[in-house]
Amino acid sequence: MTGATATSLSSIFALSAEADREALIVSVHDVAPATRAAAEKIVAELSHHRVSVCSLLVVPNYHHRGSSTEDRGFVRWLQDLEAQGHEIVIHGYFHERPRRNGENLHEKFFTRLYTNDEGEFYDLDYDEAFRRIMRAREEFVRAGLTPRGFIAPAWLLGSAAERAAAEAEMEYTTRLTGVRDLRSGDNFFARTLAYSVRSGWRRTASLAWNGVLARQLAVAPLARVSIHPPDRDHPEIWQQILRLTDRLVENRTAMTYRDWIAERRTRRGA
């Protein structure tokens, strides 16, 4: 995967009438054979709300349930989505982090309370992070997919793992508060709307927080909405997601991370 390839994508809208509009990126997380039914419904519903393309964060071996790319029906579905302009993103490898003896309070907070033992790349060493990312990319490419970005589960990406992603020639990564071009090192502040639905108090807090955050993002250069499959199971959460997405897309162009990064590079002449 070369830089020239990444910046010459046919889906870049540099000359289109929408090029001057700010961007909206909607990402669907934790996509795997086990979550395909929910993800499929989410993508379909978003298309009825003027979000024609999404970044789909695909887990290569979700919770050790087996290789995603060995499911032929799942792969064909991803290939069809990619052909329609959606993006396939590598999302960890197992999306799971084993607990360890002797973890301090800080580690326990981020790996157990903040995320439910899913911070796979939170403190993974360089060699293992590089191995998993390369393995994921090779599996996806063999399946006829073209992943350009790597996003860690729960956005928990340690410094060694970030270096591994860059040296594995991933084009970009994201965190809760922004997007990072792994080739140039440029950071773009852009906090995402995201929900926690594991308990009633988390859902209530998420509704209140995202209602406030959406108003702040109304004038941001880049607006991001991150959706997880369980979000759709809670009507109050799902309706707010659709309502806020409707509001954001009124004055924005829906695009993928891949195309947004490529457009940024084109504009600065990289």
| pLDDT at residue 97 in the model | 61
Q: Lowest-pLDDT range, 19-33, 100-114, 160-174, 189-203?
A: 100-114
Please state the length of the chain: 270
2, part of any domain: no
* CATH number for the domain that contains residue 75: 3.20.20.370
7, part of any domain: no
Among 27, 64, 21, which Cα is nearest to 179's? 27
Spatial separation of the C-alpha atoms in residues 63 and 76, rounded to whole Å? 22
Ordered DSSP codes for 36-86: HHHHHHHHHHHHTTT----EEEE-TTGGGS--GGG-HHHHHHHHHHHHTT-
3, part of any domain: no
Q: Is the pTM of this model over 0.75?
A: yes
217, part of any domain: yes
Q: Which domain holds residue 257?
A: 21-268
263, part of any domain: yes
Beta-strand pair 252-254/22-31: parallel
Higher pLDDT, 186 or 16: 186
Average pLDDT of every residue of the chain = 88
Amino acid at 76: R
Higher pLDDT, 269 or 169: 169
Number of domains in the chain: 1
Could you tell me if 27 and 258 are in contact, meaning their C-beta atoms sit under 8 angstroms apart? Answer: no
115, part of any domain: yes
10, part of any domain: no
12, part of any domain: no
| pLDDT at residue 104 in the model | 64
Spatial separation of the C-alpha atoms in residues 96 and 232, rounded to whole Å? 22
Per-residue pLDDT of 67-102, as tens digits, reads 999 999 999 999 999 999 999 999 999 977 656 766
